[in-house]
Amino acid sequence: MLDRFEYNNVSPRVVFGSGTLHELPSMLQKINATSVLILCTPEQISTAETVRDLIGDAAASIYTKATMHTPVGVTDDAVQVARELGVDGIVSVGGGSTVGLGKAISIRTGLPHLCIPTTYAGSEMTPILGETEDGRKTTRRDPKILPTAVLYNVDLFSTLPVDLTIYSGINAIAHAVEALYANNRNPVIELLACEGTKALCEGLPVLQTNAQDSEARQKTVYGAWLCGMCLGNVDMALHHKLCHTLGGSFNLPHAQTHVILLPHALAYNAPAAPQAMAKLASVLPESDGDAVRGINALYRRLGIQLGLKDFGMPEKGVDEACDIALSNPYKNPRPLEHGGIRELIRRAWAGEEARQDL
């Protein structure tokens, strides 16, 4: 018998597949966008130019200053550009940094926002916006933040470097993990979380050895889409709160921070969420019924051995990050205990393997 639950579906219109980029002009018509500002990072200019050439006169300009953690100063500049050009739509091309900028512009201006993702981060499927100002990252959730439409062109993922493929894929798994023990989880989201995690666990090891394997790439993009749906429809907990704290305060790379923290946050919450851990273990290879063992095994298979110190976080930042993480209460399966959270962050800083003794 199912317990009572509430399910509210929050999702943009999605087009998914190989060779789908040619559908962009018709998608712009459907969102009534006739003059758009294309957003990208400096590294994605070539892809943005491809999009510009495809839509012709509908491309007003390309804005190339998107950067991680969505600094408010960059957003203010981009909004000014959009207003000066008089555009009636936004197209973001890239990963979470670019999608985040598109969301920030859209919520400020009301302009429709079409995403063309090139990483597995999943931000395009969420009504969540994280912005950084004065060294602090704040997050808000609003249905109006959700992009208007998403175009998954699987072919665009073929040039993503292998290490970024792995990092952003694990980032996507983190969305599913927290959805399984979210306070407002439901059976539909649990199905999406398990299916998305399974697809990513099957696809990522293949792409690591053969980045051009089209079947594995389709499976991985599909898994990331489902995991992004999870992130967009339920509340996140300890893992995502820590990632935002660390990323905004120490300017750490988004995907790598998620990768480093996931096993430790999972180990912290495991005793308080046995049903979620059992569901997760069922789709993690080599878990033997233990989700933490399974995630550790996946990391070993993928050759992941990272610590926050590898990305410039000082050891003295462990205490600062702990204090910030505990300053704003939020729902989590296990109560937030100073000693356990500090040790979690310290282990993540040092790059240690996750252990269930926090």
Given a cut of 70, whether residue 2 has pLDDT beyond it is no
What residues have CB less than 8 Å from 292, skipping those under 6 apart? 263, 266, 267, 270, 277, 354, 355, 356
d(CA 17, CA 207): 18
Span 13-158: which CATH code? Answer: 3.40.50.1970
List, for residues 108-130, the tens digit of each pLDDT value: 999 999 999 999 988 899 898 98
pLDDT at 25: 96
Q: Which residues pair with 17 in a beta bridge?
A: 153
pLDDT given at position 325: 87
- Which part of the chain is CATH 3.40.50.1970? 13-158
Residue type, 181: Y
Q: pLDDT tens-digit profile of 292-348? A: 999 999 999 999 999 999 999 999 999 999 998 898 878 999 999 999 999 999 999
Of 102-106, 183-187, 197-201, give the lowest mean pLDDT range.
183-187
- The segment(s) of the chain belonging to CATH 1.20.1090.10 are 170-350
**Torsions phi, psi of 70, nearest 5?**
45, 70
CATH code for the structural domain at 170-350: 1.20.1090.10
At residue 134 the predicted structure's pLDDT band, cuts being 50, 70 and 90, is: confident
Output the pTM of the full model.
0.89
